Structure 1
Amino acid sequence: MHNPIKLNPPQFLALLFLFLIIAGACLLKLPIAHEESLRWIDALFIATSAATVTGLASVDPGSTFTLFGEIVILFLIQVGGLGVMSFASLVVIMMGRKISVKQRVLMQEALNQPSIGGVIRLVRNLFVFSISIQIIAVFFLSFRWVPEMGFGKGIYYSVFHVISAYNNAGFALWSDGLMGYVGDPMVNIVISLLFITGGIGFTVLVDLWVSRKWKDLSLHSKVMLLSTFAINIIAVLLVYLFEFNNPKTLGMLSGAEKLWAAYFQGVSPRTAGFNSIDMTAINPDTSLLMILLMFVGAGSTSTGGGIKLTTFVVILFTVSAFLKGKDDTVVMKRTIRNAVVYRALAITTISILFIFAALFVVTYVQKGDSFMIILFEVISAFGTVGLSMGLTPDLTIIGKIVICIVMVFGKLGPLTLAFSLAKQTRENIRYPDGEVFTG
């Protein structure tokens, strides 16, 4: 008797996501979607970049695509940012149907929750909060862009960049990103608040809404908020220091514009991928800083990628505990379970190995390109950031395919893909201790 193929939750989510990308590529390839000629590889690249909310673009979105094409990109960004399963679940809820246990398990996997309890409420809160924030942001941005562009275009540009920013996509309708608004307070504040909010993570936002008081917040929320604040402050100060005298970036700006540019470019690399300065002209120390920020990434259950900030924090505290001769990893007077530590180490190790493999291939096919520029591109794809030092349009077909794979890997997460490929078996056998010398 033939047995149907059974998919575990990670496999199902991965296939659903790949279907979204392929459908998006087919829509973008339609004649009504683009004004200039568009190759299949570029349609696939843009669809992958939008669905994974990365923002890397092999062609200029603003001049290549029609209104229909741009709306397709927006749809892919919104669905990819908030989650395929979350959208599917919302449709089921709106139709008045009950969510099955299997669907709840899928949502638990998609939203990275420890249990299936409360996932429906989380999805509802996620959508209400997300849509409300985006509407408010469009209202504020329209004050800046409606007088400049007219009502229709001003509202549309506001909507496009709000959706792109909140979902940490980094797509812009200008070929130079947001360089034209480098010193504009309204654009800098609204766009940055959107991608910082989107990058903190849905569970933290819901926790803030429900708890209201600091002492009532979960450990995850406290760690996420404190580490986000700390890493953003450090990044902004370092960008300001590294680029202050660079005549092609901050050096040519006025005092106030220098501060805005340093702030925006300091908080953007971990998640969003918007740029207000010329990324092809940044100094090597700045590019190295941004590579680290992109690798670390945003928060768990957020719209951003990377190994996740909390993973990075757990590893730092684990190393600190080892150096102090302690057996347990302790964060804010709470012991972190060994399973969480192993998970953090597994995520980081799998990510590094995957990035090395991708680097080997891209370095091989991109003869003549600087290694730093290639490394920047690969890490940007992994972190679903979207910043580029100018390599994206010059990628070969193989280079684009590899970067697409890296973007999907970064979006779905190393453990999701590892679990979907590995055969899960539980062994209760305890083997004798053995000694291996390390270090």
Structure 2
Amino acid sequence: MRKLLSKMTPPQILTLGFLVIIFAGAGILMLPISQKAGVTVHYMDTLFTAVSATAITGLTVLDTASTWSLFGHIVLLVMIEIGALGFMTFAVLLFAITGQRLDLKARLMAQQALNLGSLADVKSVLSYVFSLSAVIQLIGAVLMMPDFIPRFGASHGIFLSIASSISAFGNAGFTFFDEPVFFLRNDPYILVVWMLLISAGSLGFLVWRDLLLYRKQRRLSLHTRVALHVSAWLTGLAFVFFLFTEKVLTPLAGSTSLWHRIMDTLFLAVVPRTAGLEVVPLRDLTAAGLMIIMLLMFVGGTPGSTSGGIKTTTLGILWLQSMAALRGQEQVNFGGRRFSQKVVIKAMMLAVISIVFVIGVSLFLSITETIPKGEGLEYIVFEVISAFSTTGFSLGLTPHLTTLGKIVIMMVMFIGRVGLYTVMFSVMNIREKPTSFQYPTEEVIIG
């Protein structure tokens, strides 16, 4: 086995590692101790749940609360934690505990897993990731306990606080309540805690390190500045658009106050960033509102975070490139810094491949799956984007997927979590092939 691993590239080992976790988790969930008494679960549904948990997506074909026992819930939370932080992070922790040094290959894998720019600070960043994520999730759980313990009892309230904190910070979309979380739309305190946890997870560990070290360094990296600007603009614009498209959530006007509806709207602007906690029923939203959610899901969070999607920095680079081109500028500048042409091309390639991928999968599922009467193509496209961005929102397709449809959605969730680049450089074995010559330049008419 060691000989085989030595021949594999870091992206291939990362892909294999996630697959091992998924199948191991599915095997444990198949044990009777993981399921509630009298519940029968097929392996395909168990595997789908394991993929969704490890890919921190939240799409489920089974009801989480009524299907899995307490042990099964703990297994799901462990897979969510591993999926959120990356299995390589836990491998490095094991190296640190045992006192072993990281070899070059392990450092390369850690760099790939966290999208680090260099190998210089791999170990320090990983220990920082563990300590920061543990502190944030602990604070989130403690903040929820005063609300959940009186509501659900001491033991169950503590468990739900911990589970909800892990799921929200990991942007996992899993809920462990006995009923849909619609009942929390009148609880602004919990919504604020969840929004803070979701935002903390979606910003990324490198951004948080920059922010925490700002007083000492007195500067923010270009990555952090782009991520913060794009995240703030997306949340702000989404909130304003939802105020108009949903008319401050008019369907809830009879049951909630104006303040609660404003908080629900703000929550709705935050959760599509791959969190997938459906406090406001998606079926109550307008077509414009669903379109905004699909756009937010497709963008996702920041590289090196617990989120999926094409990432905020990709959108930021593409937007700045477009604005520079409209002004007739050849270079893309932001905050006194210039983006390299390699980064711009990489962002464009990721966006184009992601769009083609989502369209291709949607086309395939439109053939294999049945669209209910009264529904349109958005019934499928919404689900595909949700799976690709590891959000977990659903318009109802997932529980009714065919076996082939489940396999396809599992593949999309896996690729969304591992990353298109990692899959291309591992499973498809794509390699850069430098050329020693150049062809003559010729213009092509555009537009």
TM interval, short-chain normalised: over 0.9
Inter-partner Cα distance in structure 2 for 1:16 and 1:96: 22
Aligned match for 1:398, one of 390, 395, 404: 404
- CA contact 2:201–2:307 (8 Å) conserved in 1: yes
* 2:229 aligned partner: 226
Give me the whole-angstrom Cα distance separating, in 1, the residues matched to 2:10 and 2:360: 26
Q: Is the 8 A contact 2:362 2:384 kept in 1?
A: yes
Q: Is structure 2 residue 433 aligned with structure 1 residue 425?
A: yes
Aligned to 1:165: 168
| Residues 1:33 and 1:387: Cα distance change in structure 2 (over 3 Å) | same
Matching residue of 1:347: 350
CA distance in 1, matches of 2:186, 2:237: 21
Is 1:85 the counterpart of 2:88? The answer is: yes
Q: Distance in 2 between matches of 1:327 and 1:125?
A: 38
> What residue in structure 1 maps to residue 76 of structure 2?
73
Kindly provide the amino acid, as one letter, of the partner of residue 425 in structure 2: F
| Matches of 1:150 and 1:328, distance apart in 2 | 59
- Farther off after superposition, 231-240 or 40-49: 231-240
2:58–2:392 contact (8 Å) kept in structure 1: yes
Q: Distance in 2 between matches of 1:48 and 1:248?
A: 34
In the alignment, what sits opposite 2:25? 24
SS at match of 2:41: coil
> What aligned pairs does 1:43-122 form with structure 2 within 5 A after superposition?
43-122=46-125
Shift of 1:362: 1.1
Give 1:127-276 correspondences, 5 Å limit: 127-174=130-177, 177-212=180-215, 216-244=219-247, 248-249=251-252, 252-276=255-279
- Inter-partner Cα distance in structure 1 for 2:394 and 2:5: 44
8 A contact 1:243–1:250 mirrored in 2: no
The Cα shift of 1:391 comes to 1.6
User: What is the alpha-carbon distance in structure 2 between the residues aligned to residue 272 and residue 245 of structure 1?
Assistant: 21
**8 Å Cα contact 1:243-1:251 kept in structure 2:** no
Aligned residue among 378, 395, 398 for 1:372: 378
The answer (yes or no) to whether the contact 1:269–1:293 under 8 Å persists in 2 is: yes
| Residue 37 (structure 1) aligned with residue 26 (structure 2) | no
- Is the partner of 2:213 in helix, strand or coil? helix
The 3 A distance-change label for structure 1 pair 241 and 152 is: same
Q: Which runs of 5+ in 1 are unaligned?
A: none
Say whether the 8 Å CA contact 2:111–2:122 is kept in structure 1. yes
Aligned: 1:281 with 2:284 = yes
Q: How far apart are residue 424 of structure 1 and its match?
A: 3.4
Deviation per residue, 1:292-329 (Å, 9 max, x gap): 00001100100000000110010011111111111111
Structure 1 position 259, deviation (Å) = 0.9
Q: Supply the RMSD in Å over aligned alpha carbons.
A: 1.8
Among candidates 411, 425, 444, match of residue 436 of structure 1: 444
1:17–1:84 Cα contact (<8 Å) kept: yes
Question: Would the alpha carbon gap of residues 151 and 375 (structure 1) be closer, same or farther in structure 2, given more than 3 Å must change?
Answer: same
Per-residue Cα deviation, 1:405-437 (whole angstroms, up to 9, x for no partner): 111111111111112221333333333223333
Aligned partner letter, 2:127: R
Paired with 1:139 and 1:338, the residues of 2 have a C-alpha distance of 46
- Taking structure 2 as the reference length, the TM-score comes to 0.94
Q: Which runs of 4 or more aligned residues in structure 1 lie more than 6 Å from their structure 2 counterparts after TM superposition?
A: 2-5
Single out whichever of 293-302 and 23-32 deviates more from structure 2. Answer: 23-32
Deviations 1:53-80 (A, max 9, x none): 1111111101111011111100000000
CA distance 1:4–1:303, change in 2 (3 Å): closer
* Structure 2 gaps, min length 5: none
Q: How far, CA to CA, are the matches of 2:414 and 2:239 in structure 1?
A: 29
Distance of aligned partners of 1:217 and 1:197 in 2 relative to their CA distance in 1, 3 Å threshold: same
Q: Matched residues in 1 for 2:4 and 2:402: separation?
A: 42
Task: Summarize the Cα distance change of 1:245–1:119 in structure 2 as closer, same or farther, 3 Å threshold.
Answer: closer
Classify 1:365/1:97 alpha carbon distance in 2 versus 1 (closer, same or farther; 3 Å). same
User: Of the candidates 314, 318, 323, which is equivalent to residue 315 of structure 1?
Assistant: 318
Q: Which residue of 2 aligns with 1:15?
A: 16
Q: 2:337 aligns with which of 316, 327, 334?
A: 334
Greater shift after overlay, 374-383 or 218-227? 218-227
Aligned length: 438
* TM-aligned CA deviation for residue 253 of structure 1: 2.6
SS of 2:333's equivalent in the other structure is strand
% identity of equivalent residues:
36
TM-score, scaled relative to structure 1: 0.96
Secondary structure at the counterpart of residue 191 of structure 1: helix
User: Against the structure 1 CA distance between its residues 175 and 146, is the aligned structure 2 distance closer, same or farther, given a 3 Å change threshold?
Assistant: closer
Deviation at 1:249, TM superposition (A): 4.6
**More off after superposition, 250-259 vs 105-114:** 250-259
Contact 2:371 2:379 (C-alpha < 8 Å) held by counterparts: no
